[in-house]
Amino acid sequence: MSTIRMTMSQAIVRFLSQQYVERDGVERRFVNGVFGIFGHGNVTGLGQALEEIGSDLPYYRAQNEQAMVHTATAFAKLNNRLKILACTSSVGPGATNMITGAATATVNRLPVLLLPGDTFASRLPHPVLQQLEHPMHQDVSVNDALRPVCRFWDRIARPEQLLASLPEAMRILADPAEAGAVTLAMPEDVQTEAYDYPAHFFEKRVRHIPRPVPAEEVLREAVACLRGVSRPLIVAGGGAIYSEASAELAAFAAGFGIPVAETQAGKGVLPWNHPWNVGPVGSTGGLAANRLAAQADCVIALGTRLSDFTTASHTAFQHPEIRFIGINVGAMDAHKMGALPLVGDARATLAVLRGRLKADGYRAQPAYGDEVGRLKGLWDDEVNRQCTVASPSVLTQANLIGIVNDASGPRDVVVCAAGGMPGDLLKLWRPLDPKGYHVEYGYSCMGYEIAGGLGAKMADPSREVYVLVGDGSYLMLHTEIVTSILEGKKLIIVVVDNGGFQCIKGLQASCGSPAFGNELRYRSQATGRLDGDYAALDFAKNAESLGAKAYRATTAAELRQALGLAKQEPRTTVVHAWVDRDARVPGYESWWDVPVAEVTGRETVQSAQEQYQAARQRQRFYY
Ligand SMILES: Cc1ncc(C[n+]2csc(CCOP(=O)(O)OP(=O)(O)O)c2C)c(N)n1
Ligand SMILES: [Mg+2]
């Protein structure tokens, strides 16, 4: 057997550059680069290897480890999980900074490979700089904190261990049912140790991504179930987009007259104006989908995690005899809500189910189709109404969304993650392309926005990427603006300034409490609280100082003009836009379960608690 002598780090680099995936006959390079921040624990190991033999594996220098994991996550999301990036950190704080990013990836079922440095496997020089010593367990380091947020975790304590661990890591990363963050912790001494690796370990490896379909018996039961219902509804999630099921779903919906409601991750699977797309469902859903959901007697949950925002905390579906059919590549998701589990690829499963239903002569009733059309019309009018600019001097967040939407092209991408913006975007944004709507709302992680925008742009530079970010999220993590400029990956970032955490203030108010601790205000001498003047931050100046082009906008006209200029600009452009602090897009016949204090001296909290208990009566649990 021929062998190649190299260090563990060199072996990782060589191996990763030879990994490919194939789906539907299209082959793609799987690992498309490494993001990193060097320090002790990776610069002389993996860093040395990347410098010397990494020409096939581009290296990107990030500004923050959490951010670089978000970038990698967004890259995988835009690539439908068929292309990934790896992220490497130094020992200690660099590694723990990746935990939030890892959780974000895993919650969203998106693959990222994490390669944190680790303390010496030999233990001899311990304690080293940045080591947290566990008094009883010498085999525990801070990297163990990554375990619960990863789908696969291993520590490479000997160089030959890569032969077992790397293929397993690839298997998990490439499997749509398993995808999430994967960590290979790399003790700093082992990274530099040499081993005679078998040469065939570094040969090109193509992993085939199958499209599994459910067993015959379950398909038959699904057909029988649909035959007996009259108000079916499809709830389409991210899995429908990742499996590229748009055309199949459109044929399925139109062929049988079944409306399609969308989740945050599923929005865009059908264009907004497709006659069977009834818009968003759940806590931040719209009129049409929420009314249809309330009376649906069968819900086909397609590629969705069925999060509380989708089910309106288990109040969205009120039909006493409702049946769920779960189509999902992941068994855990397919079984949720007591569903008949159709474990399989979204597109392939829809296709076989369509064949069976057609043979069965299935068709929903025409009266139901009329009702769907009428409700969709109502909802489209409401979206228009919310986006219409009513004041020449003040913008609402809804107005801002409408204006950015109008400025964007049909293939462009909008990126968002946290604050009040995701809910409003879900209601109001009108995507025409399955990759046009990119909102991370599984972990809803502040800080994803700009870093994620960079990942989306890297995945497809031919699309303009619009990042909508609240003032709160911007202040938390905006420094990948620098990376976007250094890498020549242009973003159009709109910072939506409403004076602080306004969505949380709204939540607080809806649960009976006065404003407390959420706005960006000076502490007042009189009250001792943060209720003094609003801080007047200049995000345009901030962005300029990082190398971005920047504009300011308070009115609709200024925003349109700034976006027009931003489109001309070759580099990342930031528009600091002010919106009305209190104007909100309302909820549409829905609810979200957020507990309220059972004992309180405040009447407003007490009345919120009574309303909370009343609302909980509508919760339905299915097993
Ligand atoms: C990392 C992280 N920390 C805390 C939260 C909780 N949280 C959700 S939205 C929000 C406020 C966001 O403020 P901003 O970006 O200004 O958006 P706005 O609420 O004003 O729409 C907070 C603190 C979160 N989602 N992520
Ligand atoms: Mg804000």
102 Cα to the center of ligand 2, angstroms: 25
Percent of the chain with pLDDT over 70: 100
CA atoms within 13 A on the CB side of 474: 26
Ligand 1, atom 23, lies closest to the CA of: 501
Kindly report the CA angle at 415 between 412 and 419, in degrees rounded to 5?
Answer: 150
Q: What's the pLDDT at 365?
A: 85
Two tokens, residue 484 = 């976007």
SS3 67: helix
Ligand 1 neighbours by CB, cut-off 6 Å: 418-421, 444-447, 470-473, 498, 500-504
Which atom of ligand 1 is the closest one to the Cα of 420?
Answer: 21
Give yes or no for residue 16 having a pLDDT over 90: yes
The alpha carbon dihedral of 73, 75, 79, 85 has a sign of negative
Atom of ligand 1 nearest to the CA of 506: 19
Length of the chain: 623
331-387: pLDDT as tens digits: 999 999 999 999 999 999 999 999 999 999 998 888 999 999 999 999 999 999 999
Distance 184 CA to ligand 1 centre (A): 31
Residue 604 tokens, joined:
């407003």
Ligand 1 centre to CA of 439 (Å) is: 14
Position 107 confidence tier, pLDDT thresholds 50, 70, 90:
very high
Residues with Cβ within 8 Å of residue 270, at least 6 apart in sequence: 236, 246, 249, 250, 253, 260, 262, 276, 277
Atom of ligand 1 nearest to the CA of 445: 26
> What pTM was computed for the model?
0.98
Tell which atom from ligand 1 comes closest to the C-alpha of 417.
Answer: 25
pLDDT confidence of residue 363: 85
Question: For residue 107, which ligand has an atom nearest its CA?
Answer: 1
pLDDT at position 521: 98
Kindly report, residue by residue over 305-327, the tens digit of the pLDDT: 999 999 999 999 999 999 999 99
Burial class (CB in 10 A: 0-12, 13-18, 19+), 300: buried
- The pLDDT tens digits for 557-596 are 999 999 999 999 999 999 999 999 999 999 999 999 999 9
pLDDT of residue 100: 99
Neighbours of ion ligand 2 (CB under 5 A): 470-472, 498, 502
C-alpha 442 – ligand 1 centre gap (Å): 14
| Ligand 2 centre distance from Cα of residue 64 (Å) | 22
Residue 421 CA, closest ligand 1 atom number: 21
The residue whose CA is least distant from atom 4 of ligand 1 is 446
Answer whether residue 96 shows pLDDT above 90: yes
Distance CA 378, CA 287 (A): 8
* Complete edge-to-edge strand list for the sheet that includes strand 31-36: 59-61, 31-36, 84-89, 112-118, 181-187, 152-155
pLDDT of residue 495: 98
Report the separation in Å between the CA atom of 446 and the middle of ligand 1, taken as the mean of its atom positions: 6
Residue whose Cα lies nearest atom 1 of ligand 1: it is: 446
Q: How far is CA 469 from CA 324, 448, 546, in A?
A: 36, 9, 17
The token pair that represents 61 in the structure block: 């220098």
Pocket test for ligand 1, best of 108, 501, 508 (most atoms within 8 A of CB): 501
- What is the number of the ligand closest to the CA of 99? 1
**Structure confidence at residue 274 (pLDDT):** 98
Q: Tell me which of 494, 503, 530, 592 to substitute to probe ligand 1's pocket, judged by most ligand atoms within 8 Å of the beta carbon.
A: 503
- For residue 592, how far is its CA from the centre of ligand 2 (angstroms)? 20
Distance CA 269, CA 265 (A): 9
Q: Which ligand 1 atom is at minimum distance from the Cα of 473? A: 15
Per-residue model confidence as pLDDT tens digits over 444-503:
999 999 999 999 999 999 999 999 999 999 999 999 999 999 999 999 999 999 999 999
Q: Which ligand is nearest to the CA of 504?
A: 1
For ligand 1, atom 10, the nearest C-alpha belongs to 419
Under DSSP, the state recorded for 26 is E
Q: Residue with the nearest Cα to atom 17 of ligand 1? A: 419
List the residue whose alpha carbon is closest to atom 18 of ligand 1.
419
Q: Which atom of ligand 1 is nearest to the CA of 475?
A: 15
Mean pLDDT rounded to a whole number for the chain: 98
For the chain, the C-alpha Rg in angstroms (whole number) is: 25
Q: What's the 504 CA to ligand 2 centre distance in angstroms?
A: 9
* Spacing of C-alpha 467 from chain mean position: 13
Distance 501 CA to ligand 1 centre (A): 6
Other CB atoms within 10 A of residue 224 CB:
11
The pLDDT value recorded for residue 1 is: 86
State the DSSP string of 391-437.
Answer: -SS---HHHHHHHHHHHS-TT-EEEE-SSSHHHHHHHH---SSTTSE
Q: How far is the CA of 476 from the centre of ligand 1 (A)?
A: 9
Give residue 197's pLDDT band: very low, low, confident or very high (50, 70, 90). very high
Residue to mutate, 421, 446, 450, 507, ligand 1, most ligand atoms under 8 Å from C-beta: 446
Confidence at residue 581, expressed as pLDDT on a 0 to 100 scale: 96
Report the separation in Å between the CA atom of 473 and the middle of ligand 1, taken as the mean of its atom positions. Answer: 6
Range 507-523 average pLDDT = 97
For residue 508, report the distance from its CA to the centre of ligand 2, in Å: 14
Atom of ligand 1 nearest to the CA of 443: 25
Say which residue the tokens 């945050």 belong to. 264
**pLDDT at residue 597, rounded to an integer:** 98
Q: Which of 368, 363, 342, 371 is nearest to 226 (CA)?
A: 363
Please state the atom number of ligand 1 nearest to the C-alpha of residue 476: 1
pLDDT band per the 50, 70, 90 thresholds, residue 623: confident
Q: Which atom of ligand 1 is nearest to the CA of 500?
A: 16
501 CA → ligand 2 middle, Å: 5
- As a whole-number percent, the residues of the chain with pLDDT over 90 amount to 99
Question: According to the model, what pLDDT value does residue 576 have?
Answer: 98
**What would the two tokens of residue 134 be?**
């566990």
Predicted pLDDT of residue 226: 96
> 499: which residues sit within 8 A by CB, 6+ positions away?
471, 519, 520, 521, 534, 535, 581
Would you state the pLDDT for residue 364? 81
